[in-house]
Chains A and B, each alone.
Chain A
Amino acid sequence: MPVFYGTEVANPLMLGTALYPSPAIMADAFRASGAGIATVSLRREGGGGQDFHALIRGLSIPVLPNTAGCHSVREAVTTAQMARELFDTPWIKLEVIRDDDTLCPDVIALVEAARILSDDGFQVFPYCTEDLSVCGRLLDAGCQVLMPWGAPIGSGRGLNNPYGLRSLRAHFPDVPLVVDAGIGLPSHAAQAMELGYDAVLLNTAVAKAGDSVAMARAMALAIQAGQLAHAANPIEARDMAAPSTPLFGMAVLS
């Protein structure tokens, strides 16, 4: 199971807490999936007050607060500090958004905020692109986990750049890697795990499904399947057929 900053989590599914039809359905989705980490927003979009935070704590799994909705280094740092006080954890999912329509990370500001927060004792989970040099800079800044997007947040498009994600995995074999955002279907989540990723973070695909609880379970099963498949050392794809039955030695039916 994935280990983040020395803490092993019980399940590689990291599930968001926003956009559910009700808190009761959210709690059921967490139970049905066995998610290992609950992410929660501090700012207003999907975020909440004391009552909602109490419901999240009631899930009894590690909480990863995030800085969703922050557009600058300063906003993100302030939000992270609030999160540390509210949830009593050094963990922070760092999001610095460049553009509201794509929710594309501002990677320049992200690296700067990651350095400030790491120096201040935070354990930073940066929401980033799959760009190798950006990821390298984030590690230099003190991050010990990377969370590249699969596709823009909430788009449900799956892994837009499997090549880039694979090469990131190969480049940083020992860094915990999480595909964060863009997952729409269990097959997307399975694919991320098949690439050798350590975990998958998703929210909208479960919260906005017609049956959130069933979809949460489907995601957990797919993640488990992908994880098993990766560990099982899958075959390489090839262009020509390879018969699974030997051609020689077939019975001669004459």
Chain B
Amino acid sequence: MSDVTILGAGVLGLAIATELRDRGITPRIIDPNGAPGPHGCSWWAGGMLAPHCESESAEPAVVRLGADAAEWWQAHGAQVTHRGTLVLAMSRDRAELDRFARMTDAHRTVSADDIAALEPELGTRISRGLFYETEGHLNPRQALAALRDGLHIETQGQPSGLIVDARGLSARDALPDLRGVRGEMMVIRCPEVQLTRTIRLLHPRIPLYIVPRGDGIYMLGATMLETGAKSRVTARAAVELLSAAYALHSAFAEAEILELGADARPAFPDNLPRLRRRGNTLYANGLYRHGYLLAPAVARMAADHITLGTRPEFMDEDHP
């Protein structure tokens, strides 16, 4: 199989193209919106490579498939920050921290002094947290640009050869069990605060994360709403994200708001990815909130299927 057309230039489409190119196949890529940008949900992601933290609510497969993600991204031009994840809770939400610790692995409990040593900006105000030393994060837009480099994206044209449909939520026309899970995020600039790693702040209503993007820029995310609506960020979401950030560090009150973003993540009912082969089309979809974490593994599976004919994990339909 040497003639392959990928539909969709989001994180998964580009990761599959990259995997194929590594195996000597140069696929065509068609996306009516062209290069990655605000039209796709990959653009708005947090970029956390945090399989252990995700396992609080995700299936064990997510931890396993995400294990090599950081290495893959680094090998393909993304700058991965390996500083771990710090999970914190305000003292009144201490029970949330205990639950999170119980539900996840690969962490150690850190004291107020440990927290101050890891992130001096936070001081010793927070008495206890969890540190996931092996985790990391990347900047999604830089990572997308690195994958795109050297790939040609057509905005129109007829697909030829084997079709790989990686259109995300747009593939609902063919995948009726795909649904959208809305997320809202914000990018702020706050040079007074110097955090070096992803911080998650647990709260019974608003689980917030802050991902540093360098130069005093931070991504705040993200809401999780069972709807595919892509309308603009609501006042409620903005208030929730900002007040949680402010609770973590009062200097965030002075931040400049650079961006507000909202989009819908493509997900299947069990929130796990799927590969589906129907005739000449291979559908790859459903990365849910794990786009950058799972794209490498799912892309590898898709490329193996195309080049070796293997039937990958998470292939639930196979009608060649």
Contacts and interface: CB of A to CB of B under 8 A. Distances in A.
A47 B225 contact: yes
Given A44-B225, A51-B179, A154 B270 contact: no
A21 interface: yes
Contacts of A22: 59, 267, 269-272
A103 to B, nearest CB: 10
A46 B223 CA distance: 11
Contacts of B271: 21-24
A51 B226 contact: yes
Given A44-B234, A45-B205, A52 B269 contact: no
A21 B227 CA distance: 15
Contacts of B179: 23, 51-52, 55
Contacts of A23: 179, 226, 269-271
Interface residues of B, number: 23
B266 to A, nearest CB: 11
Nearest to B95: A156
A98 B180 CA distance: 32
B58 A49 contact: no
B269 A48 contact: no
A154 B204 contact: yes
B229 interface: yes
Contacts of A21: 57-59, 271
A121 interface: no
B180 A210 contact: no
A38 to B, nearest CB: 14
A48 B270 contact: no
A25 B228 CA distance: 20
A204 to B, nearest CB: 9
Nearest to B226: A48
B148 to A, nearest CB: 31
B102 interface: yes
Contact of B269 (A27, A50, A208): A27
Interface string B172-193: 0000000110100000000000
A55 B272 CA distance: 17
Contacts of B227: 47-52
Contacts of B59: 21-22
Nearest to A40: B226
Contacts of A210: 102-103
B99 interface: yes
Interface string B39-81: 0000000000000000001110000000000000000000000
Nearest to B204: A154
A50 B272 CA distance: 20
Contacts of A49: 180, 182, 225-229
B66 to A, nearest CB: 16
A51 B228 CA distance: 8
Given A21-B57, A44-B225, A51 B180 contact: yes
B236 interface: yes
Contact of A44 (B103, B228, B236, B272): B236
A208 B180 contact: no
Contacts of B102: 210
A55 B178 CA distance: 12
Nearest to A26: B269
B205 A52 contact: no
B235 to A, nearest CB: 11
A183 B99 CA distance: 17
A9 B318 CA distance: 41
Contacts of A208: 99
Interface string B12-24: 0000000000000
B269 A55 contact: yes
Interface string B199-226: 0000011000000000000000000011
A48 B180 CA distance: 10
B49 to A, nearest CB: 20
A9 B103 CA distance: 35
Quick one: which of A46, A48, A50, A154 has the most chain B CB within 10 A?
A48
Interface string A31-54: 000000000000011111111100
B239 to A, nearest CB: 11
Contacts of A45: 205
A24 B270 contact: yes
Nearest to B223: A44
Contact of A24 (B58, B234, B236, B269): B269
Interface string A1-31: 0000000000000000000011111010000
Interface of B: 57-59, 99, 102-103, 179-180, 182, 204-205, 225-229, 234, 236, 267, 269-272
6 contacts: A23-B179, A23-B270, A44-B236, A49-B226, A51-B226, A208-B99
Interface of A: 21-25, 27, 44-52, 55, 154, 208, 210
Closest 8 CB pairs of A and B: A49-B227, A48-B226, A24-B270, A51-B179, A52-B226, A22-B271, A24-B269, A21-B57
